[in-house]
């Protein structure tokens, strides 16, 4: 795929913004997916190509949060089980679904998730010092993580908000630690998704890797900001990014 200097620059910029949004909140793919489709990629190829950038962004984000000792390592294994199961099912559905139906479903899920996080932002901001739970103790959170994996495997855009709802709203993690575990979950089911999309030969590597460069830079910067910010500042930042995600969701429909 031949790209102009303008397209390369646009991919880097959109990737940088999307990587930052995905690291602190979610919905960055509401920007990168439309960009890939505007460049002429079919919906299924754009959906698969976007996962390369998300995968690389998550590697940077997880390493950054872990280095800052914000990653709850003992919680990783019980949280990953339902997330991976849902991710595999969602990616298979996205790979097998005819392209005719994929774009409308992408649009509907983007808009639906954007509206949900705009109307109910409070479900992902528990009070400080709230005791955390395990998915084995809170079955609703287990199903929430499975749903997040299913949705993330299918479309990716906005999955961060579902994961934050399960981790912060369900398991009562503060926003910084919830974001760290969110990145681990996203990394896990994105690995599964990329493997499935590779089997179906749906990835365009050149735009995917260019986008990934921007995503990685955005994730690196946002980890540094997140660990230094108060819970109240993070809530306002999350609300702002929710508005961006809503606007990007409508852009996809134009």
Domains identified in the chain, total number: 1
Q: Which of 47, 92, 26, 54 is CA-nearest to residue 187? A: 54
Q: How confident is the model at residue 252 (pLDDT cuts 50, 70, 90)?
A: very low
Give percent of the chain above pLDDT 70: 70
What is the residue range of 212's domain? Answer: 5-252
By residue count, the chain amounts to 254
- pLDDT tops 50 at residue 132: yes
Which residues have C-beta within 8 Å of that of residue 74, sequence separation ≥ 6?
Answer: none
Lowest mean pLDDT among 44-48, 132-136, 141-145: 132-136
* Interval 42-76: pLDDT, tens: 988 998 999 999 999 999 999 999 998 888 888 88
CB 38 within 8 A of CB 254: no
Question: Among 175, 235, 237, 173, which Cα is nearest to 21's?
Answer: 237
d(CA 251, CA 2): 24
Q: Are 159 and 148 a contacting pair, CB within 8 Å?
A: yes
CA distances from 73 to 62, 80, 245, 248 (A): 11, 11, 29, 33
Q: For 181-230, write each residue's pLDDT tens digit.
A: 889 988 988 888 898 889 889 999 999 999 999 999 999 998 998 887 76
Q: What is the dihedral of CA 155, 161, 163, 167, to 10 degrees?
A: 180
**pTM assigned to the model:** 0.77
């Amino acid at each position: 795929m031949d790209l102009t200097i303008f397209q390369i620059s646009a991919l880097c910029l959109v990737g940088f913004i999307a990587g930052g949004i995905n690291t602190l909140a979610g919905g960055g793919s509401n920007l990168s997916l439309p960009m890939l489709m505007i460049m002429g990629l079919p919906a299924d190829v754009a959906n698969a190509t976007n996962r390369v950038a998300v995968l690389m962004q998550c590697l940077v984000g997880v390493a950054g949060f872990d280095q800052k000792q914000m990653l709850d390592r003992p919680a990783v294994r019980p949280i990953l089980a339902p997330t991976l199961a849902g991710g595999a099912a969602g990616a298979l559905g996205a790979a097998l679904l005819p392209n005719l139906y994929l774009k409308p479903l992408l649009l509907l899920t983007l808009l639906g998730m954007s509206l949900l996080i705009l109307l109910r932002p409070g479900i992902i901001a528990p009070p400080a010092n709230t005791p955390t739970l395990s998915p084995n103790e809170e079955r609703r959170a287990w199903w929430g993580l499975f749903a997040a994996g299913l949705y993330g495997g299918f479309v990716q855009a906005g999955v961060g908000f579902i994961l934050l709802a399960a981790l912060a709203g369900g398991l009562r993690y503060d926003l910084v630690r919830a974001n760290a575990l969110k990145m681990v979950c996203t990394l896990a089911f994105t690995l599964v998704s990329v493997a499935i999309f590779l089997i179906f030969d749906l990835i365009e590597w050149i735009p995917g890797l260019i986008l990934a460069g921007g995503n990685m830079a955005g994730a690196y910067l946002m980890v540094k900001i997140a660990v230094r910010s108060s819970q109240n500042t993070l809530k306002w930042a999350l609300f702002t990014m929710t508005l961006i995600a809503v606007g990007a969701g409508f852009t996809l429909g134009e």
